[in-house]
Amino acid sequence: MKDLSMHIIDILQNSTRAKAKNIELLVEEDVEKDILVLQFKDDGCGMDDTMVQRVTDPFVTTRTTRKVGLGLPLLKQNAELTGGTFHIDSKLGKGTIVTATFGLSHIDRKPMGDLASAFVLTMTSYPDIRFVLHYKKQGIDFTLDTDEIHEALGDVSIQNPEIISYLKEMIEENIK
Protein backbone atom coordinates (compact mmCIF):
# COMPACT_ATOMS: atom_id res chain seq x y z
CA MET A 1 0.00 0.00 0.00
CA LYS A 2 1.41 3.31 -1.04
CA ASP A 3 0.31 5.29 2.02
CA LEU A 4 -1.11 4.84 5.51
CA SER A 5 -4.60 5.99 4.52
CA MET A 6 -4.90 2.82 2.41
CA HIS A 7 -4.06 0.75 5.50
CA ILE A 8 -6.69 2.72 7.42
CA ILE A 9 -9.39 1.90 4.88
CA ASP A 10 -8.39 -1.77 4.90
CA ILE A 11 -8.41 -2.19 8.68
CA LEU A 12 -11.67 -0.24 9.09
CA GLN A 13 -13.26 -2.52 6.49
CA ASN A 14 -11.96 -5.56 8.40
CA SER A 15 -13.92 -4.24 11.38
CA THR A 16 -17.09 -3.90 9.31
CA ARG A 17 -16.69 -7.50 8.06
CA ALA A 18 -16.33 -8.56 11.71
CA LYS A 19 -19.84 -7.15 12.27
CA ALA A 20 -18.66 -4.33 14.53
CA LYS A 21 -21.26 -1.76 15.53
CA ASN A 22 -18.67 0.62 17.02
CA ILE A 23 -15.32 1.34 15.38
CA GLU A 24 -12.72 3.80 16.68
CA LEU A 25 -9.56 5.04 15.02
CA LEU A 26 -6.86 6.85 16.96
CA VAL A 27 -4.19 8.68 14.99
CA GLU A 28 -1.55 10.18 17.24
CA GLU A 29 1.60 11.96 16.11
CA ASP A 30 4.17 12.64 18.84
CA VAL A 31 7.11 14.62 17.52
CA GLU A 32 8.97 14.54 20.86
CA LYS A 33 8.82 10.73 21.04
CA ASP A 34 9.21 10.50 17.23
CA ILE A 35 6.27 8.11 16.89
CA LEU A 36 3.06 7.84 14.92
CA VAL A 37 0.38 5.57 16.36
CA LEU A 38 -2.55 4.09 14.46
CA GLN A 39 -4.93 2.25 16.76
CA PHE A 40 -8.14 0.57 15.65
CA LYS A 41 -10.74 -0.62 18.17
CA ASP A 42 -13.93 -2.47 17.36
CA ASP A 43 -16.63 -4.48 19.08
CA GLY A 44 -16.88 -7.05 16.30
CA CYS A 45 -16.73 -10.82 16.53
CA GLY A 46 -13.10 -10.85 17.63
CA MET A 47 -10.61 -13.68 17.17
CA ASP A 48 -9.48 -16.61 19.28
CA ASP A 49 -5.83 -16.80 20.42
CA THR A 50 -4.88 -19.16 17.60
CA MET A 51 -6.18 -16.79 14.93
CA VAL A 52 -4.50 -13.78 16.60
CA GLN A 53 -1.17 -15.64 16.34
CA ARG A 54 -1.73 -16.52 12.67
CA VAL A 55 -3.49 -13.44 11.29
CA THR A 56 -0.27 -11.68 10.22
CA ASP A 57 0.60 -14.61 7.94
CA PRO A 58 -0.43 -13.49 4.42
CA PHE A 59 -1.73 -16.99 3.65
CA VAL A 60 -4.21 -16.91 6.51
CA THR A 61 -7.54 -15.17 5.96
CA THR A 62 -11.14 -15.58 7.01
CA ARG A 63 -12.36 -14.35 3.64
CA THR A 64 -13.78 -16.95 1.29
CA THR A 65 -13.33 -14.91 -1.89
CA ARG A 66 -9.53 -15.28 -1.92
CA LYS A 67 -6.80 -17.29 -0.25
CA VAL A 68 -4.52 -14.47 0.92
CA GLY A 69 -4.97 -11.61 3.35
CA LEU A 70 -2.32 -8.92 2.99
CA GLY A 71 -3.76 -6.03 5.02
CA LEU A 72 -2.53 -6.88 8.52
CA PRO A 73 0.77 -8.45 7.36
CA LEU A 74 1.62 -5.33 5.32
CA LEU A 75 0.64 -2.99 8.15
CA LYS A 76 2.87 -4.97 10.52
CA GLN A 77 5.74 -4.97 8.05
CA ASN A 78 5.46 -1.23 7.39
CA ALA A 79 5.41 -0.44 11.11
CA GLU A 80 8.40 -2.66 11.85
CA LEU A 81 10.39 -1.24 8.89
CA THR A 82 10.37 2.10 10.72
CA GLY A 83 11.53 0.64 14.02
CA GLY A 84 7.95 0.57 15.23
CA THR A 85 5.77 -2.13 16.68
CA PHE A 86 2.58 -4.00 15.88
CA HIS A 87 0.17 -5.61 18.33
CA ILE A 88 -3.25 -7.24 18.18
CA ASP A 89 -5.44 -7.79 21.22
CA SER A 90 -8.63 -9.68 20.46
CA LYS A 91 -11.23 -11.61 22.38
CA LEU A 92 -13.70 -13.88 20.65
CA GLY A 93 -17.15 -12.30 20.85
CA LYS A 94 -15.79 -9.05 22.32
CA GLY A 95 -13.80 -7.26 19.61
CA THR A 96 -10.31 -6.39 18.49
CA ILE A 97 -7.69 -3.71 19.05
CA VAL A 98 -4.95 -3.34 16.44
CA THR A 99 -2.08 -0.98 17.30
CA ALA A 100 0.66 -0.06 14.85
CA THR A 101 3.42 2.30 15.97
CA PHE A 102 5.73 3.85 13.39
CA GLY A 103 8.94 5.83 13.62
CA LEU A 104 7.49 9.24 12.73
CA SER A 105 10.57 10.66 11.02
CA HIS A 106 11.92 7.34 9.73
CA ILE A 107 12.78 7.42 6.04
CA ASP A 108 10.82 4.20 5.43
CA ARG A 109 7.56 5.46 6.96
CA LYS A 110 4.87 5.68 4.33
CA PRO A 111 3.20 9.10 4.01
CA MET A 112 -0.17 9.52 5.71
CA GLY A 113 -2.02 10.07 2.46
CA ASP A 114 -5.54 11.47 2.48
CA LEU A 115 -6.74 10.60 6.00
CA ALA A 116 -9.88 12.74 5.73
CA SER A 117 -11.08 11.09 2.52
CA ALA A 118 -10.21 7.60 3.77
CA PHE A 119 -12.17 8.04 6.99
CA VAL A 120 -15.16 9.82 5.42
CA LEU A 121 -15.38 7.28 2.58
CA THR A 122 -15.49 4.41 5.04
CA MET A 123 -17.87 5.96 7.58
CA THR A 124 -20.36 7.10 4.95
CA SER A 125 -20.28 3.68 3.27
CA TYR A 126 -21.55 2.12 6.51
CA PRO A 127 -24.08 4.62 7.92
CA ASP A 128 -25.45 2.16 10.51
CA ILE A 129 -22.06 1.73 12.19
CA ARG A 130 -20.75 4.21 14.75
CA PHE A 131 -17.32 5.49 13.74
CA VAL A 132 -15.15 7.65 15.97
CA LEU A 133 -11.96 9.37 14.83
CA HIS A 134 -9.52 10.66 17.46
CA TYR A 135 -6.64 12.72 16.09
CA LYS A 136 -3.88 13.99 18.36
CA LYS A 137 -0.85 16.03 17.44
CA GLN A 138 1.05 18.88 19.17
CA GLY A 139 -1.83 21.01 20.45
CA ILE A 140 -4.49 19.32 18.31
CA ASP A 141 -7.00 17.02 19.97
CA PHE A 142 -9.84 16.45 17.50
CA THR A 143 -12.67 13.93 17.76
CA LEU A 144 -15.36 13.17 15.19
CA ASP A 145 -18.20 10.85 16.24
CA THR A 146 -20.86 9.71 13.77
CA ASP A 147 -23.44 9.44 16.57
CA GLU A 148 -23.10 13.20 17.09
CA ILE A 149 -23.25 13.82 13.34
CA HIS A 150 -26.43 11.75 12.94
CA GLU A 151 -28.00 13.63 15.85
CA ALA A 152 -27.11 17.00 14.33
CA LEU A 153 -28.32 16.00 10.85
CA GLY A 154 -31.71 14.70 11.94
CA ASP A 155 -33.38 13.29 8.83
CA VAL A 156 -30.58 14.32 6.46
CA SER A 157 -28.50 11.35 5.29
CA ILE A 158 -24.80 11.20 6.12
CA GLN A 159 -24.45 9.91 2.56
CA ASN A 160 -25.66 13.19 1.09
CA PRO A 161 -22.87 14.47 -1.22
CA GLU A 162 -22.90 17.90 0.43
CA ILE A 163 -22.56 16.31 3.89
CA ILE A 164 -19.71 14.09 2.67
CA SER A 165 -17.90 17.13 1.30
CA TYR A 166 -18.49 19.07 4.51
CA LEU A 167 -17.22 16.23 6.72
CA LYS A 168 -14.06 15.84 4.63
CA GLU A 169 -13.38 19.59 4.85
CA MET A 170 -14.07 19.60 8.60
CA ILE A 171 -11.55 16.82 9.21
CA GLU A 172 -8.95 18.48 6.98
CA GLU A 173 -9.35 21.81 8.81
CA ASN A 174 -9.07 20.24 12.26
CA ILE A 175 -6.02 18.06 11.65
CA LYS A 176 -3.77 20.65 10.00
- Rounded to whole angstroms, how far apart are CA atoms 67 and 65? 7
Angstrom distance (rounded) from CA 9 to CA 118 = 6
Note if the pTM is more than 0.85.
yes
Three-state DSSP state, 85: strand
pLDDT of amino acid 71: 81
Residue 176 confidence (pLDDT) = 86
CATH code for 4-174? 3.30.565.10
pLDDT tens, N- to C-terminus, the chain (176 residues): 799 999 999 999 999 999 999 999 999 999 999 999 999 999 999 999 988 887 776 665 665 554 445 689 899 999 999 999 999 999 999 999 999 999 999 999 999 999 999 999 999 999 999 999 999 999 899 999 999 999 999 999 999 999 999 999 999 999 98
How many residues appear in the chain?
A: 176
**Complete DSSP assignment for 17-64:** HTT-SEEEEEEEEETTTTEEEEEEEE-S----HHHHHHTTSTT--S-S
Q: Residue ranges of the domains in the chain? A: 4-174
- Specify the pLDDT at position 56: 74
